[in-house]
Amino acid sequence: MSISHEDTGNLRRIVISGRLDVEGTDSVAAQLVELTQAPKKGIVVDLSSLKFLASIGIRALIESAKAVKARGGKMVLVAKSGSTVMMSIKATGVDQFVPVFGSSADAEKAAAA
Amino acid sequence: MDPPKHDDVTRTVIARPGAPEASADDDRAHYLVVVEGDGAGRRFEVGGENLVVGRTKPADIVVSDVLASRNHCRVGLVMGELFVTDLGSSNGTYVAGKRINKAIVSAGERITIGSTVLEHEWRSKREVMAAQATDMDLDRAKQYVRSLLPAPLESGPIRTDWVLQPSAKLGGDLFGYHFIDEKTFAIYLLDVTGHGTGAAMHAVSVMNVLRQRSVPGVDMKDPARAAAHLNEMFPMERHGGMLLSLWYGVFDLATRNLAFTSAGHHASYLVDAQRSSSSALDVSNVLIGMIPGYTYRSESAQVPPGSTLYVFSDGVFEIEPAGAGAWGLDDFIALLTAPAEPARRESRRILETVVARTGREAFEDDFTLVATALL
């Protein structure tokens, strides 16, 4: 499981890959929350190469999205439709709070808007 | 600020919340918890003796707050109610935002002293002790969770059979069921985000609300209303970022109507008596604690006699098999319509089949399933 990021202008793109489950998730979740604190307008969290999203990951996504919203930014997610990760996002209602896109191009466009 | 009025006192007496049926296992005590200011998280039990709150010793509750007086106010119990009396402080004592000389503090209300806020909690001593012992052995927490689970129902029109196998790290699953009245049966399962004793104890707090058959101002027969009530009580911002998923159903034995809601939880499944098909009981709502003021929706289903309701946590299908192959929700659902085995309890049949199919003896998450026959 790994987390990386790159900044382009006013946009930060964070990629989490592997299996966001119990072992090691706490540290990745904490890193995610920290990375989303950057004073960027748009934050894209790309989960399309993530195999599994445990509940602690859901919590980190919500905490991050709330913090980004609170400072007037916009956070969006990228997830593959039909994947287990997308299933978790829908079942928990995360998609009702954070916009989710199938492609990173669409996500970046929305985050920059 | 308004001067204190005597009628404030009488008003709050009536508003004493919770008002549960007396039960033998009710061991609740009054606590003041520092929720804002220096030493947030500290908890003081208010018992027979009055306690003085002030800036320095010998006050019983010392708050390091420049706006607090040396002897700021006194708290104590009168006829089972928590009373606070201002001791002539310079900056005043506030209850629920109003400056007072003397007032009753209902459970959930807050006392403000300078920039320090104390919340009145009326909670189970056992629960508080469990929550405080952060280094508590996980095995003891597991035993505690287990002690709260209801006995299987083995006679009557509703039969239950369940399994809750906690993971090594304890996953925050809990469930319960009870008759709200003679003709109404409530069942619920919840899963707190994260692991460990913190998640488990949060689940316990939520379950203690659901266990009450009557909650003032909340119709517990209305699943959407019950979910909204929990959402108001347990926002993530005030509970260490913890969120929870909940499936809550209310079955009317007379009309055979099952009203249900799902708050960020996957569907429960209803399997007919012939075990020929299963139907998903799903509603799309967000997790409890995520969005303040969220309007939860519920649905309902007509239940044919002899059906079985399966309510479960994601730990039963989010399992990575030990060897090759895959295990997911579809595999699990297919298992529900497989023939029952008279030699094994239904929960055993399912657990043992999942163990065999995934090759896993121990799971990463709690494995929780409640099978309820609605005869």
Residue in B closest to A94 by C-alpha:
B286
Q: How far apart are CA B15 and CA B191, in angstroms?
A: 31
Higher confidence at residue A76 or residue B141? A76
Q: Which of B236, B266, B364 sits opposite A21 (nearest CB)?
A: B364
Quote the mean pLDDT of chain B: 87
B176, B190 Cβ separation under 8 angstroms: no
pTM, rounded to two decimals: 0.71
- Look up residue B270 and give its two tokens: 């209803």
Chain A residues near any Cβ of chain B (below 8 Å) = 19, 21-22, 52, 54-56, 58-59, 62-63, 84, 87, 90-94, 96-97
pLDDT at residue B283 above 60?
A: yes
Higher confidence at residue B19 or residue B303? B303
Nearest-10 crossing angle of helices B138-147, B125-132: 160
CA distances from B155 to A84, A86, B152, B296, B348 (A): 39, 41, 9, 34, 19
What number is the average pLDDT over the span B127-141? 66
Residue in A closest to B282 by C-alpha:
A91
Quote the mean pLDDT of chain A: 89
Contact residues on chain A for B290, CB-CB shorter than 8 A: 62, 93, 97
Residue in B closest to A29 by C-alpha:
B194
Q: Is A53 helix (H, G, I), strand (E, B) or coil?
A: strand
pLDDT at residue B169 above 90?
A: no
ipTM above 0.95, yes or no: no
Q: Which of A84, A86, A17 is nearest to B328 (CA)?
A: A84
Q: How far apart are CA B287 and CA B145, in angstroms?
A: 22
Residue in A closest to B243 by C-alpha:
A59
Phi, psi of B361 (to 5 degrees): -85, -40
- Look up residue B354 and give its two tokens: 């999942």
Tell me the residue length of chain B: 375
Contact residues on chain A for B169, CB-CB shorter than 8 A: 22
Q: Is A19 helix (H, G, I), strand (E, B) or coil?
A: strand
Higher confidence at residue B326 or residue B203? B203
Residue B133: predicted pLDDT: 60
pLDDT at residue A68 above 90?
A: yes
Residue B14: predicted pLDDT: 35
Q: How many CB pairs under 8 A join A and B?
A: 64
Q: Which of A52, A56, A87 sits opposite B194 (nearest CB)?
A: A56
pLDDT at residue A53 above 90?
A: no
- Look up residue A15 and give its two tokens: 């990629």
Residue B325: predicted pLDDT: 80
Q: How far apart are CA B275 and CA B258, in angstroms?
A: 19
B34-46 pLDDT per residue, tens: 887 777 778 899 9
CA distance A8 to chain B (A): 30
Q: How far apart are CA B215 and CA B220, in angstroms?
A: 7
